[in-house]
Amino acid sequence: MLKLITCNKSNYEKKLFSYVNNTSINDKKRIEVVSNIIKKIKKNKNKALLNYSNEFDNNNFKNFNSLKVKRKEISYALSQCSQAFHDSVKLAIQRITSYQKKLMPRNLYYKDKLGIKLGSIWSPLASCGLYVPGGKALYPSSVLMNAIPAKIAGVKRIVITSPANNNQLSPEILVAANALGISEIYKIGGAQAIAALAFGTESIKRVDKVVGPGNSFVAEAKKQLYGYVGIDSIAGPSEIVVIADRHNNPKWVAMDLLSQAEHDEEARAILITNSKDFIKKVNKYLLSFLKSIKRTKIAMKSIKKNGLAILIPDINFAHYIANYIAPEHLEIMTKNKKLLAKKIINAGAIFMGEYTPEAFGDYIAGPSHVLPTSGNARFDSGLSVLDFLKRTSYIEANKIGLKNTLHSIETLGNSEGLDAHVKSAKIRFSKD
């Protein structure tokens, strides 16, 4: 079931290299397709959006106005969702809001020993676009996880784009958006949605930043359009690493692995353990559970292609493997979980203990589930309120402070051959 590789301290990098670096991020055909879509959106705007929405997403829109969600559609969506769903959205909003508020930075001001005032000023972006995936699954949770940090940051204009099917968005997505007071919603997806948000059209104003996960075409569009618009990250397939010793319940571990495998055929589910017998038990339950979930075919392909069991001689060695993979989601289910967690430096999110499944983080815990994938946790972090803020430096020198640093300004400026820099400081002390 899960591919088995045995690793020790001396060979784990070599054995994992091909697996970790097996991505299709530079697919030439996709790059070309996305480039052409971007060019057409930039040139033909609304007309191109309409055509692509009909061509790619199984729609039959007659004009651009039908791409924008109307108030009556939101009202209808509200009536279509159960009270349990409304209540769950409300609880998720409360928890995500509470967490993101605690991350809000404060402006900094101080005066140094030369009397120079320094600081940093935080200010929100004016606008952002939230991409909410469609296609294989619907993600109302992504609305909450993307939009709430933006609202806490103070972003005034929040736009949602999501691919429609048969001219409709799911009621759940509209309910989640409505709960947050977001009404500018468009039924567009794919690379064309990212291009529209980046450049603007006759009907859609451009935004300052685009966030949210999507398929490989969405990721490629974000990559190509960075500079025209800010982006959060280049998202790849979902992934989970579970570190578990033999004392765990193999049923729970198997289902946690499937919770990511069901996302996408390219998703990665990885088990790290020091027990070969435990791997056998997990494989047994994987086979059994695959028959019982709704997305059997997707999960089966994911496990077959990317499922991996890493056998290590000592569970205390697990952090080396985890840090090398730098997973999006990392579950630690061992007796020494606190000790291992202290040694983890590369992970989008860490889920501690057997009663913290990754699904808890996806929906209700508080931190955003938009996390770095494809090993990007080596240098990137999960989406937060900080992604919707800009930091501006504050500098205020007085006459004494500038005079006391003038020699160093002159020395450094001359070393770079930039004499106007030097003179701009010295002229303030000239008698002429």
Cα 135 vs. chain centroid, distance in angstroms?
18
C-alpha 264/C-alpha 348 separation (Å) is 19
Q: What is the largest CA-CA distance in the chain?
A: 88
Q: What is the DSSP letter of 51?
A: H
Q: 307: burial class by Cβ within 10 Å (0-12, 13-18, 19+)?
A: buried
From 263, 319, 329, 369, active-site residue: 329
Element (H, E) at 243: strand 239-244
CB half-sphere exposure, 404, CA atoms < 13 A: 10
C-alpha 291/C-alpha 286 separation (Å) is 9
From 172, 239, 266, 328, active-site residue: 328
Element (H, E) at 308: strand 308-311
Query: Is 329 assigned a catalytic role?
Result: yes
Between the alpha carbon of residue 394 and those of residues 111, 126, 227, 238, 302, the distances in Å are 11, 20, 25, 40, 50
Query: Is 328 assigned a catalytic role?
Result: yes
Cα 328 vs. chain centroid, distance in angstroms?
9
C-alpha 247/C-alpha 275 separation (Å) is 10
The residues that are catalytic are: 328-329
